[in-house]
Structure 1
Amino acid sequence: MLDKICRNIQKKSLKERFLLVIGILFFLTYLVLGLFIIFMKNFPLDMSASYRLVFGVLLIVYAAIRFVRIINDNKD
């Protein structure tokens, strides 16, 4: 399967590969930001723990949605 993905990436134009890399970077950014918000003890904004948890989970869910879209766009 990984071999198929690698061949598919090589078929893409330079612009499509660039957009794929940017999409992966933003997926990782949202995922890490969500985890930081949930687990950071000295969070700089004055938010209660429950709001931080909800906000972090929303960011992680959004990252998962972006990941699914990247995978679906890569199957073309």
Structure 2
Amino acid sequence: MLRNMLNNFQKKSLKERFLLVLGILFFLIYLVLGLMIMFWEKLPLDMEPKYRYAFGGLLIVYSAIRFLRLINSNAE
């Protein structure tokens, strides 16, 4: 499977590879931001803990949706 993904990555044009890397970067940004909001206590957000966890969880779910869409578009 990994070999197939690498072979598929090499067949893509420069623009498609750039967009794939950009998609992976934004997936990681949303994931890390969600984790930071949930678990970093000194983050200067004036929110109650339940809202911080809800917002962080929402960002993590959004990053998972982006990752699944990225994987599905890469399989084509």
Q: TM-score, normalised by structure 1?
A: 0.98
Q: Which residue of 1 aligns with 2:17?
A: 17
Identity, in percent, stands at 66
Q: Which residue of 1 aligns with 2:68?
A: 68
| Structure 2, gaps ≥5 residues long | none
Q: Which residue of 2 aligns with 1:38?
A: 38
Report the aligned-residue RMSD. Answer: 0.5
Q: Distance in 1 between matches of 2:43 and 2:52?
A: 9
2:20 partner letter? L
Is 1:50 aligned to residue 50 of structure 2? Answer: yes
Instruction: Name segments (4+ residues, structure 1) moved above 4 Å.
Output: none
| Structure 1, gaps ≥5 residues long | none
Q: Distance in 2 between matches of 1:44 and 1:9?
A: 40
